[in-house]
Amino acid sequence: ISYCMTSRKEKLFKVIVYSNKAKVKNLTPGMEYLFYVKTVRGKDYSISVMKKVATKPSRICGLTLKAVNTSSANLMWNPTETNFTHYKIYISNGTFAKEYLIWEMMTEHTVTDLTPGRIYNITVHRMSGNVEGSGTFIRVVAEPEKPEKLKAFNISAHSFSLHWSLPSGHVDGFHVDLVPDSGFVTIKDLGGGEYQVDVSNAVPGTRYDVTISSISATTYSLPVSRTVTTNVTRERVGSAGILLSWNTPPSPNGRIISYVVKYKEVCPWMQAAYTQVRAKPDSLEVLLTNLKPGTTYEIKVAAENSAGIGVFSDPFLFQTAESAPGKVVNLTVEAFNYSAVSLIWYLPRQPNGKITSFKISVKHARSGIVVKDVSIRVEDILPGKLPECIENNESFLWSTTSPSPTLGRVTPPSRTTYPSSMLPGRKISSVWKEPISFVVTHLRPYTTYLFEVSAVTTEAGYIDSTIVRTPESVPEGPPQNCVTGNITGKSFSVLWDPPTTVTGKFSYRVELYGPSGQILDNSTKDLKFVFTNLTPFTKYDVYVAAETSAGIGPKSNISVFTPPGVPGTVFDLQVAEVEATEISITWKKPRQPNGIINQYRVKVLVSETGVILENTLLTGKDEYIKGPMAPETVNIVESMAGLFEGSAEMSSDLYSIASVMYSSHPHHNFPVRSRAEDQPSAVGTPRNQYLADIAAEQLSYVIRRLVPFTEHMISVSAFTIMGEGPPTVLNVRTREQVPSSIQVIKYKNISSSSILLYWDPPEYPNGKITHYTIYAMELDTNRAFQMTTIDNSFLITGLKKYTKYKMRVAASTSVGESSLSEANDIFVRTPEDEPESSPQDVEVIDVTASEISLKWSPPEKPNGIIVAYEVLYKNIDTLFMKNTSTTSIILRDLKPYTLYNISVRSYTRFGHGNQLSLLSVRTSETVPDSAPENITYKNISSGEIELSFLPPNSPNGIIQKYTIYLKKSNGNEERTINTTSLTQNIKGLKKYTQYIIEVSASTLKGEGVRSAPISVLTEEDAPDSPPQDFSLKQLSGVTVKLSWQPPLEPNGIILYYTVYV
């Protein structure tokens, strides 16, 4: 067997064995080895088999616990020389296990996220790659958390108790230390993580320091402490006195001359100042009198010698005996609904003890009869325990200031806390601003009640009261004894009594229903309502219901049938057909017949003159009722009126209506023309016509022998037994005929494009002339057009100037147009005027640098004879004008490469009309007449300048380039630079040298003149060469004379030389 370290193959170890296994010792821990195994027989041997083996890292030594707290443990171990790559830590307890790796080379590590009080098993391994070394084990107990929410309570002269909560994590138990050790200690497990210790057989008036720690295994938590002082002895004397006694102080430090007792009220009110009394030195007790019943006082006692008053004892609380409580505060009442109210009050200002219940009495305010008398326990009306004044200073929960005299919704009073010695870590809660409420039910609506409330301790307290009226409720019954009265065809009244049971302040909802549904929905505070604007001969249903603010109650119903009356207007009167001499009309029976329709009247008259053409009665039988109503008809009316209440008044109205039913008419002063003889007749004797069905919904009638194209007024009215209703009027005109032709037409020239045409109306219009039509034709082009007007004249505009037209006029009615005849044509020529259009087709024939040749055509609308043409042409600053009688011209003496705006207009004898033909022409280019201007330069550096200039004043074309000529002022060599920019940077100049510059501009036609030369001097700079011909001459052993010539390239004026030695 041959083996070596993987990292040190040159060092090879050999072992000879005579079996099939071998144990190799003294290997280095945490290293990787290569083993080669081969069989040997004499001098022969087999091929080697290779095996790679890694040794375990060495075990950790000296693993100890350096520190531990509630959530972490710090471990440390000894360093060692071994090969390994990292650590593996394995942690477990009874509930979990986990492992993690540490890749740092260290001898100390902190394990975190521990649960307080738990026991953990921790094993640490060294690792070399995946090879794990032997583990080292340690057991760790995390420090438990200290007890929480420790508080003292039930403090008396010989005992006290402390309470605390189980902390987070794990705790096996608790340890209690009592200093001084004079008392018997009992620890109780209250369940739910709550614990209590009771200390008995304590010494009265002694200060105890109590320390409690949590225990887990053998590990203790940090302790929590409380200081408790047992009370001195005292006893109640009535409900307003305390007999207080004490012991002599252990260290009086002299002769005691008196004892000082200070006390103040802390419950239910916190007094700011103490009341102080003194007791004789030979008396170790004092009687405190004039105290308040059921009140807790804070008391302190101190001894006094000749040096002064000593330290006061720790304060203790004492409660006086209970008595009857004072009045509850701010008793108010809020109504929930009509049968329930909520009583709200606050605790009495002086409870005088523990309030156990409240007494509530409900009475009728007027009669004093008690409706309810109930006593309510505190635990039944409040969600939690009612605070009380007791001697336990840590359970004391009363407010420290007096309650607000108003409701608890106002800003709460300020609150204070006891000193830490009195009430450690406990806030005093205020109950004064918390309202107490009780709901009283089964009350009557709209009733005034007296509510009395008093608090009860061991006896009933003083009474506070308030009065309220319950809200209204929905009426429980309908109005009573509904009757009708004063019935007429248009109105009636209804009367009623209120509902039997009063549930509020009543108003009444009145509803009226007719054949078409609801007609009226109104309200009133009266016990009567009058319905008006009704329809006669109609059945109505009336519903009356009482109403309060809570809603509407049941309804009472009564039905009423109104008597008949004169009918309303007939409905939908319209024309069915109109001819020249007759009109057919249709109508429907009145929407409000107000009874049975027995006949209709049709009356026709001429609207313009008022002459009656027809007055016809249409009946269902061939007879005519002409006088007053027959006795039997009156009997029918009276019998109908007698069916209703108030018929005595109504019957007189019916008689008056019937007596004038046929004797009066709104058109009685119009003459009547008989249809048969066409002669006037009396209005009182109208014609009678027979209708097959007078009661039909749709009726019709044909009116004949009317005048053509005449406005007629047609009225139709209906009758019942009570008389004639108002008429429905329809205005109708009979049809028209075609008018005769127009005979006389004249005209008048108004302008060169308009004429006024006027004519006489036709001799026979045969109807209403709706319009006139003017027909016109342009004779040169045969273009025809027409216009319409309603007048006897028309201004025709937009005509062509200096043009001949033929015109005629026709009149029209709604039937048609009058006949047209060439005999009535009229011929018109419009006058000459200025040209209306400009010359046409203006074009350029030829353009040179100084001439432009033009030609054009005459205008399309010359409006006369053209006598001349005017040519206007202008450049940017000069206007020129030439006249010609032909249609071509040559413009001479023009500027080169200049834009000319050219216009041509034509003239008649009336002028040119400002009609122009416009075009723009530019003359040809030449070389510039002037050089670039305003040549300036700016030094950029000692070898560069920036040259700027403006274009030449007369470029005579588009500048294609600028040429810059540059040469030294003392030389002949010239440098040329071409550019298209007005700014040019020239580089490569010699420093501090004078140059001459000229600039020229070039167009496509060639180069223009050069500018006047300007002189340019480049900036100075540091010399580019050293001083020349440097020589020295020794004048003595310590003196040397130096000499030189200026540099070859000084680049400026040499100011001084610097000699370096």
762 with 745: CB under 8 angstroms? no
Q: pLDDT tier at 80 (50, 70, 90 boundaries)? A: confident
| CATH superfamily of the 148-229 domain | Immunoglobulins (2.60.40.10)
pLDDT given for residue 647 in this prediction:
32
Architecture label for domain 480-561: Sandwich (2.60)
Token pair for 720: 């019942």
Q: Which two tokens stand for residue 287?
A: 């009687």
Residue 571 in this model has a pLDDT that exceeds 90:
yes
Please check the confidence at residue 640 and state whether its pLDDT lies above 80: no
pLDDT of the residue at 708: 77
Phi-psi category of residue 780: left, alpha or beta, with phi > 0 → left and psi -120 to 50 → alpha? alpha
The dotted CATH code for 571-627+662-733 is 2.60.40.10
In this prediction, residue 234 carries a pLDDT of 61
Predicted local confidence at residue 113, as pLDDT: 86
Region 1004-1014: what's the mean pLDDT? Answer: 90
Per-residue pLDDT at 1040: 92
Q: What's the pLDDT at 236?
A: 60
Report DSSP letters for 408-434, one per residue. TTSPPPP-----TTTSTT-PPPP-TTS
Structure confidence by residue, pLDDT tens digits, 166-194: 998 888 899 999 888 878 889 988 888 89
The interaxial angle of helices 631-641 and 647-659, nearest 10 deg, is 150
Structure tokens, 710:
């005449």
Task: Return d(Cα 510, Cα 72) in angstroms, integer.
Answer: 87
Beta bridge partners of 211: 177, 225
The answer to whether 454 and 358 are in contact (CB under 8 A) is: yes
Mean pLDDT of the region 832-860: 89
Structure confidence by residue, pLDDT tens digits, 487-503: 988 899 999 999 988 88
> What distance in Å separates the CA atoms of residue 936 and residue 37, rounded to the nearest whole number?
101
pLDDT score of 264 more than 70: yes
Mean pLDDT of 435-463: 88
pLDDT digits (tens, 9 = 90+) for 492-542: 999 999 998 888 889 999 999 998 899 999 999 999 999 998 888 889 999
For 252-258, what is the mean pLDDT?
88
d(CA 52, CA 6): 9
Question: Phi/psi at 1027 (nearest 5 deg)?
Answer: -60, 150
Provide the pLDDT confidence category of residue 718 given band limits of 50, 70 and 90. Answer: very high
**Secondary structure string (H, E, C) spanning 263-286:** EEEEECCCCCCCEEEEECCCCCEE
> CA 1034, 1036, 1040 angle in degrees (round to 5)?
40
Q: What mean pLDDT do residues 387-412 have?
A: 44
- If one compares 405 and 711, the residue with the highest pLDDT of the two is 711
Percentage, residues of the chain above pLDDT 70: 88
pLDDT, position 730: 93
The CATH H-level superfamily of 933-1017 is: Immunoglobulins (2.60.40.10)
Residue 595 contacts residue 625 (beta carbons within 8 Å): no
Class of domain 745-829: mainly beta
Helix (H, G, I), strand (E, B) or coil at 447: coil
Q: What are phi and psi of 638, to 5 degrees?
A: -65, -40
Residue 677, pLDDT > 70, answer no
Give bridge partners of residue 587 from the DSSP assignment.
699
Distance (Å, rounded) from C-alpha 463 to C-alpha 272? 30
Q: Please give the pLDDT value at position 689.
A: 75
CATH number of 234-319: 2.60.40.10
Q: How far apart are CA 762 and CA 743, in angstroms?
A: 7
Looking at the DSSP bridge assignments, the partners of residue 804 are 829
CA angle, corner 58, sides to 56 and 61, nearest 5?
A: 150
Contact 934, 888 (CB under 8 A): no
Residue found by looking up tokens 């408790």 in the block: 228
pLDDT given at position 147:
92
pLDDT of residue 249: 81
* Domain spanning 329-386+431-469: CATH superfamily: Immunoglobulins (2.60.40.10)
User: What pLDDT is recorded for position 232?
Assistant: 65
Closest CA to 768 of 857, 851, 708, 853: 708
**1026 — pLDDT class (breaks 50, 70, 90):** very high
- Where do you find CATH 2.60.40.10 in the chain? 64-141, 148-229, 234-319, 329-386+431-469, 480-561, 571-627+662-733, 745-829, 840-917, 933-1017
Cα 144 to chain centroid distance, Å, stands at: 56
Out of 17-31, 293-307, 656-670, pick the least confident.
656-670
SS3 at position 982:
coil
- The predicted structure's pLDDT at residue 522: 92
Q: Is residue 1022 pLDDT above 50, yes or no?
A: yes
CATH no. for 840-917: 2.60.40.10
The answer to whether 274 and 262 are in contact (CB under 8 A) is yes
Is a pLDDT exceeding 80 seen at residue 423?
Answer: no
Q: For 900-950, what is each residue's pLDDT tens digit?
A: 999 999 998 888 877 778 889 998 888 898 999 999 999 999 889 999 999
Contact call for residues 13 and 22 (beta carbons, < 8 A) = no
Distance between CA 1047 and CA 1060 in Å, rounded? Answer: 17
Instruction: Give the predicted TM-score (pTM) of the model.
Output: 0.35
Q: Tokens 């006692």 appear where?
A: 301
Does the structure show a pLDDT above 70 at 278? yes
Element (DSSP H or E) covering residue 35? strand 32-37
Average pLDDT over residues 1012-1035: 90
Dihedral over Cα of 503, 509, 510, 515: its sign: negative
Closest CA to 1043 of 1053, 1028, 1025, 1055: 1028
pLDDT of 646 > 60? The answer is: no
The residue among 60 and 647 whose pLDDT is bigger is: 60
Calpha distance 972→336 (Å, rounded): 121
212-237 pLDDT per residue, tens:
999 988 888 889 998 887 776 665 66
Measured CA to CA, the distance from residue 998 to residue 94 in angstroms comes to: 107
Token pair listed for 124: 């640490």
Q: Provide the pLDDT for residue 368.
A: 86
The span from the CA of 1023 to the CA of 1050, in Å, is: 4
Q: How confident is the model at residue 392 (pLDDT cuts 50, 70, 90)?
A: low
CB neighbours of residue 138 within 10 Å: 16
Indicate the DSSP class of residue 640: H
Q: Tell me the mean pLDDT in the region 83-106.
A: 86
Pick from 26-35, 471-480, 774-783: least confident: 26-35
Q: What is the per-residue pLDDT for 478?
A: 94
- In degrees, rounded to 5, the angle at the alpha carbon of residue 365 between the alpha carbons of residues 362 and 370 is 35
* End-to-end C-alpha distance for the chain, whole angstroms: 85
Instruction: Express each pLDDT in 853-884 by its tens digit.
Output: 999 999 888 888 888 988 999 988 889 999 99
pLDDT digits (tens, 9 = 90+) for 145-167: 999 989 988 887 788 899 999 99
Q: If you average pLDDT over every residue of the chain, what do you get? A: 83
Instruction: Read off the pLDDT band of 642 (50, 70, 90).
Output: very low
Checking if the pLDDT of 996 tops 70, the result is: yes
In CATH, the architecture of 64-141 is: Sandwich (2.60)
